[in-house]
Amino acid sequence: MTVQDRVVGTPSPRVDGRAKVTGIAAYAYDRPVDDPVYAHPLQATIARGRVAAIDDVAAAGVKGVLAVVTHRDAARLADTEDAELSVLQSDEVAFRGQFIGVVLAETPEIARHAAGLVRVEYDEEPHDTELRADRTDLYAPEQVNGGFATDTDEGDVDAAMAAAAVTVDEIYTTPMEHNNPMEPHSTVAIWNPGGGFPEAPRLTLFDSTQSVHSVRSTLARVFGLRPEQVRVVSPYVGGGFGSKGMAHAHNVLAVLAARAVAGRPVKLALTRHQMFSLAGHRTPTIQRVRLGADEAGRMTAVAHEAVEHTSKIKEFAEQTAVGTRMMYAAPNRRTSHRVAALDVPVPSWMRAPGEAPGFFGLEVAMDELAAACGLDPIELRARNDPRSDPESGRPWSGRHLVRCLREGAARFGWEDRPVVPGTRRRGRELVGMGVASSTYPYYRFPGSRAVVAYGGRGRYTVRIGAADIGTGAWTVLTQIAADALGCPLGAVSVEIGDSGLPSATVAGGSSGTTSWGSTIVAACRSFRRVYGDDPPPGAEAGDDMPENPDAERYSMHSFGAQFAEVRVDADTGEIRVPRMLGVFSVGRVINPRTARSQFIGGMTMGLSMALLERSVLDHRTGHVINHDFAEYLIATNADVMDVDAVWLDEEDVHAGPLGARGIGEIGIVGAAAAIANAVHNATGIRVRDLPITPDLLLR
């Protein structure tokens, strides 16, 4: 049974909108605290080796410096299994930029100045940060991110490729990329030596995180506390895109610092520079994609083999080729992931890990196959649209990729696309159009609970430790609760962003609305079951996320079609993207206003990925040299012209009580491929390496 819509499906304005446009929304570092101490981290300037000596005499002597904490005197952690979080526990340096200490002072200026006075000597060891497909030490991880199998192999790809009438066999690469949310990772940590009870926690963190409960459980484990002794508060989060999905080293450093000045709040905000080594990144990928088809464009083989990096101290193996397993019908299919463990910072989640880089490779290869078959790229995809999930054999809960492609073609004016690449010129510019498919799985993570309380006078409060990182979750959850309770939107307040609230899973994997939303529906129904429509003030009831048996019976994925038009200056190679359109199939859309923002935001990040983003590792030093916004380019307002998104009016009856599959990540998937395919259509030049820069188009 699905919820009866009244406010679900309407474009309710953001409940946090006014606080955000006036700037009074208090993000982690904004939280007013008494008598703060300011922290400035010390970072390793070598990529591998040991700290041999630290001279902090000059720093410690600066008036206003309270402490210089290093591995020599930092508190010992209770659990050091996660090497990323094993901060200041030894003299070992595993990547450049790693924390090797922190200076604590009365003002940020003093802390920063004193940090510059600390002299560090190292015993340097040779390091290795270079990913190449011909490395001899590539290995197969036990599984890849998301718990997926590392390799799959069905049929005989090699024989099918040899027998195919038409083939594509190319290498595609995507660079190291950084999430770069606008709000740097920030934490205010308070260690209360006398505390230990829920009313006065031992450790309080005002943090910027996509998951207060996972930060709480992680820090409790690392510091040997019970979860109830830790409180993590994070009502407003200035973006995350995965990089704030879990606790990172700065959380541990802030707590170590707070222990050193127990009782006083320690404020730590990473600088933009520091974020490039300490807040996760997307691995570079080298992808070999092989496609085989008969004369009519029916695919006989698809193989997607990805090579990527991870850090030596902690494995994160991105699931680059996993999306290819279910995307197109072909009897012979192979995917694999091989990883090099390097002396690099720890990679992690970045918007649509797996699909975002993987669909650059796959969807550019599909464009190449269409050209090789002499078929329209939309027709090629339609001919290879599988009736059921080719990997699992399960029926789709709703696969409307071809509808998205056809609808997009009509809206975008696809029939005007030049058939022969490089043939349409307007003045100095070459003009072209491209298309690519998108997909993203329906994820729903167990572990959430919501509580509904009636405050009298028609007012309800719904509590769940969820996070709104800009997605609109706060608004959407309020809409869901109002409909589930059968009351007006204004009668419901939703409380989120505090580990003191009932447990919630991470704002990640496009899972928030479905996971938390279905939990809220269950809690509201429990409340009505117990108290009916006329509850007494103070009435309270809660429930956990309900099971969804259909999740085991159906293959559940969202789909989309991405269209791009590009103009390339024939003399300079400058690339402009005057139009992008996404058509998505995501189940029910709870709030068209915030949903559209999510889609176009993802597509804008995809444009940025296509044309601008690349973290440059200097292999001589292990250093990301372009570690700021002047040199790590992200799309600016002037780069983005007309980006629009629409969606099919539908409901996925297998996706739980909301009929929604999640929307946060699909917008970036395929966007870069659509632009690359449009560049090919405009210029006749096939670019297989991101980002697509003007120099690649000057031939």
Partner 1 sequence: MDARITLRVDGRDRSLTVDTRTTLLDALRDHLSVTSPKKGCDHGQCGACTVLLDGRRVVSCLTFAVAHDGADVTTAEGLAEGGEPHPVQRAFLEQDGFQCGFCTPGQICSAVGMLEEVKAGHPSHVTDDLTGPVTLDDEEIRERLSGNLCRCGAYVNIVAALREEADS
627: tokens are 């570690």
Active site residue 665: yes
- 420 versus 638: smaller Cβ distance to partner 1: 638
Cα dist. 14→21, 477, 478, 582 in Å? 11, 11, 10, 23
Q: Are 111 and 38 in contact (CB under 8 A)?
A: yes
Q: Whole-number minimum distance, CB 615 to partner 1, in Å? A: 15
Q: Whole-number minimum distance, CB 203 to partner 1, in Å? A: 23
Residues of the shown chain interacting with partner 1 in the complex, contacts defined by CB under 8 A:
13-14, 16-27, 29-30, 32, 107-110, 113, 180-184, 236-239, 241, 269, 271-272, 469-472, 593-594, 596-598, 600-605, 608, 628-630, 634-644
In angstroms, rounded to a whole number, what is the distance separating the alpha carbons of residues 511 and 568? Answer: 38
Nearest to 442 by CA among 662, 149, 242, 589: 662
- 293 versus 624: smaller Cβ distance to partner 1: 624
Q: Whole-number minimum distance, CB 643 to partner 1, in Å? A: 5
- 38 versus 559: smaller Cβ distance to partner 1: 38
Place of tokens 């800009």: 470
Q: Whole-number minimum distance, CB 121 to partner 1, in Å? A: 28
Q: What is the DSSP string of 414-462?
A: GGGS-SSTT--EETTEEEEEEEEEEEEE----S--EEEEEE-STT-EEE
Q: Are 451 and 542 in contact (CB under 8 A)?
A: yes
The DSSP call for residue 12 is P
**Residue 677 phi, psi (nearest 5):** -70, -35
- 372 versus 489: smaller Cβ distance to partner 1: 489
Q: Whole-number minimum distance, CB 180 to partner 1, in Å? A: 6
Q: Whole-number minimum distance, CB 40 to partner 1, in Å? A: 12
399: tokens are 């696969």
> Per the residue annotation, which of 363, 407, 429, 665 is the catalytic one?
665
Q: Whole-number minimum distance, CB 109 to partner 1, in Å? A: 4
In angstroms, rounded to a whole number, what is the distance separating the alpha carbons of residues 575 and 93? Answer: 41
Beta strand pairing call for 119-124 and 49-55: antiparallel
272: tokens are 């933009």
Tell me which amino acid residue 69 is.
V
| H-helix or E-strand spanning residue 483 | helix 473-485
Q: Are 315 and 141 in contact (CB under 8 A)?
A: yes
Q: Whole-number minimum distance, CB 644 to partner 1, in Å? A: 8
In angstroms, rounded to a whole number, what is the distance separating the alpha carbons of residues 257 and 69? Answer: 7
Residues in contact with 154: Cβ distance below 8 Å, sequence separation at least 6, in sequence order: 331, 332, 333, 334
Q: Whole-number minimum distance, CB 28 to partner 1, in Å? A: 11
- 153 versus 628: smaller Cβ distance to partner 1: 628
The DSSP call for residue 308 is E
In angstroms, rounded to a whole number, what is the distance separating the alpha carbons of residues 384 and 21? Answer: 47
Residue 542 exposure: Cα atoms within 13 Å on the Cβ side: 14
Residues in contact with 158: Cβ distance below 8 Å, sequence separation at least 6, in sequence order: none
- 503 versus 604: smaller Cβ distance to partner 1: 604
Q: Are 219 and 203 in contact (CB under 8 A)?
A: yes
- 158 versus 639: smaller Cβ distance to partner 1: 639
- 33 versus 149: smaller Cβ distance to partner 1: 33
The DSSP call for residue 503 is P
Residues in contact with 696: Cβ distance below 8 Å, sequence separation at least 6, in sequence order: 573, 685, 687, 689
**Residue 405 phi, psi (nearest 5):** -65, -45
Q: Whole-number minimum distance, CB 476 to partner 1, in Å? A: 13
Tell me which amino acid residue 101 is.
G
Q: Whole-number minimum distance, CB 346 to partner 1, in Å? A: 21
SS3 60: helix
HEC states along 328-361? Answer: CCCCEEEEEEEEEEECCCCCCCCCCCCHHHHHHH
Q: What percent of the chain is helix, strand and coil (3-state, nearest 5)?
A: 30, 25, 45
- 230 versus 270: smaller Cβ distance to partner 1: 270
- 8 versus 51: smaller Cβ distance to partner 1: 8
240: tokens are 């995350």
Place of tokens 């459980």: 217
- 125 versus 628: smaller Cβ distance to partner 1: 628
Which residues are part of the catalytic machinery?
665
